[in-house]
Structure formats: structure tokens, C-alpha cells
Amino acid sequence: MRCPKCDCVMETVKHENVGIERCSGCRGLWFDMLEQEELKLLAGSESLDIGDKSIGKEFNAKDVYNCPKCKGVSMIKMVDCEQPHIWYEACSSCHGVFFDAGEFKDYKEESIFDRFKSLLKKPRN
């Protein structure tokens, strides 16, 4: 599998029994459907996210990213509802997601401020 951002080879890394792919170049992380949710609940899983978040930002200028699993299916940019400063890419076909280096650590560590903002959020009509 090749990274949707920098096209480097992705390697499988595991935490407990959950395996994800990590880019050997930019260190972004690929999660198959709902793996990010499963890992968010596991203590120590943030250790999989070893990259520098400034490197991932270098590739954000590109508008179209293709899913590394579905080959040719464009991914869409998504925003985490609970932490709107986190943007990631998702495939509408296989429902996999790609986090730039540093984003999974941030996603996993919801701050008091993040929780407070979600309490004040108005429901969608």
C-alpha cells in the first residue's frame, strides 16, 4: 500500500491486536473502517503516531487524494465534530481514514477545552 499524501510505502504497525498502516515517509496513519475509534479507547495507542505534525501539513496543499485501498477513489476531507481543529481524509467507499502525523495523538487526547466546546455546540437542524 502507498501513502495517499506522499506516495511512500506504508508499513503495518500494531497496538495490542489492532493493526494499522503507517507511512514510511510522512508518518501519516491509515485506519481501516472504525479502527481509529477502537484504538482511541486503548491505553498507549498514541505511541503509533510517531511523526512530526509539521511534515503532514506540507502535503495539505494538494486537493485530491486517492484511497490507498480502493485505488482511484477520491477521498473527501472531513472534520472531527468533537474537535473541529482536526481535519482528516476519508474514503466514501471503504470508509477508511487517513490522519497526518500527529493528528491521531491530538484526536485521542480530547482536552477540557474540546469537551467544553462540544457542550456549547448547538444541535444541527
In contact, 16 and 42? CB cutoff 8 Å: yes
Ranges of residues in the chain whose predicted pLDDT is under 50: 124-125
Q: What is the pLDDT of residues 103-123, one digit of tens each?
A: 999 999 865 555 555 555 555
Q: What nine digits make up the cell of 63? A: 486537493
Taking the C-alpha atoms of residue 43 and residue 34, their distance in angstroms, rounded to an integer, is: 17
Q: Helix H segments across the chain?
A: 35-40, 53-57, 103-108, 112-120
Exposure of 77 by Cβ count < 10 A (0-12 exposed, 13-18 middle, 19+ buried)? exposed
**pTM for the model:** 0.85
Looking at residue 125, what is its pLDDT?
45
CA within 13 Å, CB half, 20: 29
